[in-house]
Amino acid sequence: MGRDTRGILAAALLWLALWQTPAAFGGAGVGVMSYPPVIAGRALSFPRDHGAHPGYRTEWWYVTGWLRDEAGRERGFQLTFFRVRPPLDVTGSSRFSPQQLILAHAALADPANGRLFHAERAERVLPPLVAADAGNTDVKLHDWRLAWSAPAGAPGHYRAHVQAGTFAFDLELTPDGEPLLNGDAGFSRKASAPEHASYYYSRPQLKAEGQLRLQDAQHVVSGKAWLDHEWSSEIMPPDASGWDWIGINLDDGGALMAFRMRNLDGAQIWAGGTLRMPDGRVRILAPDALHFSVRRSWRSPRSGATYPVEMELEIAAEGAQPARRVRIAPMMDDQELDSRRSTGAIYWEGAVRVFEAGASAREIGRGYLEMTGYADPLKM
């Protein structure tokens, strides 16, 4: 209990120190740093691009998924590592030089609890304690880690390890194939202006297996997960207030990623997506091919923010592909996450089920829904 209170106090203090004012990362006055631009046509090359890209301002590795324990209970999990290059003029002969920061969130959605278990961390890069490898995926923040490992002869897997107060997990995540490049071969636009873009690929249909500790109970778990890796310098268009995003592992072996950027009025100003068919063919979804509509909202008693926790997504027809309508419904309503201590944002990040819209209402997949900018406009 004592440590918990202390943690809350510490969080508040760090927030004051680092994120005190809502001025943007790239806001007036701190634009001293020049970041490499994200441009179309740069071919992603693996495994190099699985690793960190320290020149860019923001980068994340985002793992989400559903886990089922030995008793059949289902829970959602999320683990994100952010790498941030702050807009500071630091020359950096000191090992502690804050040229790169690593922030991390981990959350566990347990319907029995009714809300998220959540933990977060923030540190400056300080190898070997805190590091983000540039050669392949290996991000480390003390004993939290996400790393790719490929023992000789084996296909290779990610290992996600988190040790928080109320929960812990240690998972092996094995991909089923090559990375799924979003947008134009990994160049993902976020607005009509081309500079607002990121390099972005996903690894859907990750087979997850491992251990989960929830409070004092230890579980053996397995399930399906999704990894996003995205890096950028100016991802948010100035008129955007946040985004909605889904990453869904479809039961037929396909995968669906879709996002939309919203302005302050809540209107869609940009959208994008990727649909992988069961046979491996990939359809890139253009902004006008995606339409989100709200079915049900939930208001957070803590932040007061209202989130559209149930949405319907319409994917327009294209060529031989018919139009599709799916309904997105949460595992539980309260999956709001307060990460002001590390990234300064309050957002909703939760496990969702996806149903065929219309009469059949058949469940066709599971994944995660992320909704940012509903409590306050998101600043990156």
Partner 1 sequence: MTRSILRLFVASLARRRLASALSLLAIALGVALGLAVQLIHDAALDEFGRGMRTLAGEADLQVRGGRAGFDEGVYLALARRPEVAEASPVVEIEARLPGRATTLRLYGIDVFRLATVQPALMPRATANDARFAALAPDAVFLSTAAQQTVLDSPLQPVLTVQSGVHETALRVAGMVPGAGVGQSLAVMDIAAAQETFGMLGRLSRIDIQLAPGVDRAQARASLGAFLPAGITIAPPDAPVSETTALTRAYRVNLSMLAAIALLTGGFLVFSTQWLAVVRRRREFALLRALGMARRTLMRGLLAEGGVTGLAGGIAGVALGHLLALMAFVLIGGDLGAGYFASTRPTLQFSPWLIAGYLALGVIAGLAGAWLPAREAASMAPASGLRAGAADTAVHALGRSRLRRAVACIALAAVACLPPPIAGIPVGGYVAVAFALAAAVLALPSATALAMHVASGGRGVIWRLAHARLAAAPGQSIVAGAGVVASVALASAMAIMVSSFRVSVDDWLVSVLPADLYLRASSAGASGFLDADALARIRANAGVDFVEPVRAVDLRLIEGRPPVTLLARSVSRGWGLPLVSGSLHENASALPGVWISEAVADLLHLAPGDAMTIPFDGQAVQFSVGGVWRDYARQNGAVVVDLDTYRRLSGDDRINDVAIRLVRGASADTVAAALRDLFGAQTVEIALPGEIRAVSLKIFDRTFVVTYLMEAVAIVIGLFGIATTFAALTMARRGEFGMLRHIGLGRRDIGMLIAVEGALCAAVGVGVGLIAGGSIAWVLIEVVNRQSFHWSMDIHVPFSGLLLFSLGLVGLAALVARLAGYRAMRQRAVLAVREDW
Nearer to partner 1, 21 or 34 (CB): 21
Question: Shortest Cβ distance from residue 304 to partner 1 (Å)?
Answer: 24
**Per CB under 8 A, 54 contacts partner 1:** no
Q: Output DSSP code: residue 50.
A: G
Q: Which amino acid is at 237?
A: P
Pick from 7, 54, 253, 287 the residue near partner 1 by CB under 8 A. Answer: 7
Question: Shortest Cβ distance from residue 34 to partner 1 (Å)?
Answer: 16
Question: Shortest Cβ distance from residue 11 to partner 1 (Å)?
Answer: 7
Pick from 35, 115, 126, 170 the residue near partner 1 by CB under 8 A. Answer: 126
Pick from 68, 73, 124, 324 the residue near partner 1 by CB under 8 A. Answer: 124
- Cβ-contact 198, 232 below 8 angstroms: yes
Which are the contacts of 293, defined by CB distance < 8 A and separation ≥ 6? 311, 312, 313, 314
Structure tokens at 42: 């740069």
Which are the contacts of 346, defined by CB distance < 8 A and separation ≥ 6? 303, 305, 336, 337, 338, 339, 340, 375, 376
Give the total residue count for the chain. Answer: 380
The residue written with tokens 């039961």 in the block is: 251
Query: Which H or E run includes 209?
Result: strand 197-214
**Per CB under 8 A, 14 contacts partner 1:** yes
- Cβ-contact 62, 80 below 8 angstroms: yes
Nearer to partner 1, 131 or 197 (CB): 131
The Cα–Cα gap between 13 and 8 comes to 9
**Per CB under 8 A, 282 contacts partner 1:** no
**Per CB under 8 A, 8 contacts partner 1:** no
**Per CB under 8 A, 128 contacts partner 1:** yes
**Per CB under 8 A, 1 contacts partner 1:** no
Which candidate, 129, 88, 112, places its Cα nearest to that of 334?
112
Structure tokens at 70: 């030995």
Nearer to partner 1, 2 or 301 (CB): 2
The Cα–Cα gap between 312 and 243 comes to 15
**Per CB under 8 A, 88 contacts partner 1:** yes
The Cα–Cα gap between 60 and 137 comes to 11
Which of 80-88, 183-191, 256-264, 357-365 is the region at the interface with partner 1 (rule: CB under 8 A)? 80-88
Which of 23-31, 36-44, 178-186, 195-203 is the region at the interface with partner 1 (rule: CB under 8 A)? 23-31
**Per CB under 8 A, 319 contacts partner 1:** no
**Per CB under 8 A, 238 contacts partner 1:** no
The contact set with partner 1 (CB under 8 A) reads 3, 6-7, 9-11, 13-14, 16-21, 23, 25, 27-30, 86-98, 122-124, 126, 128-129, 142, 341
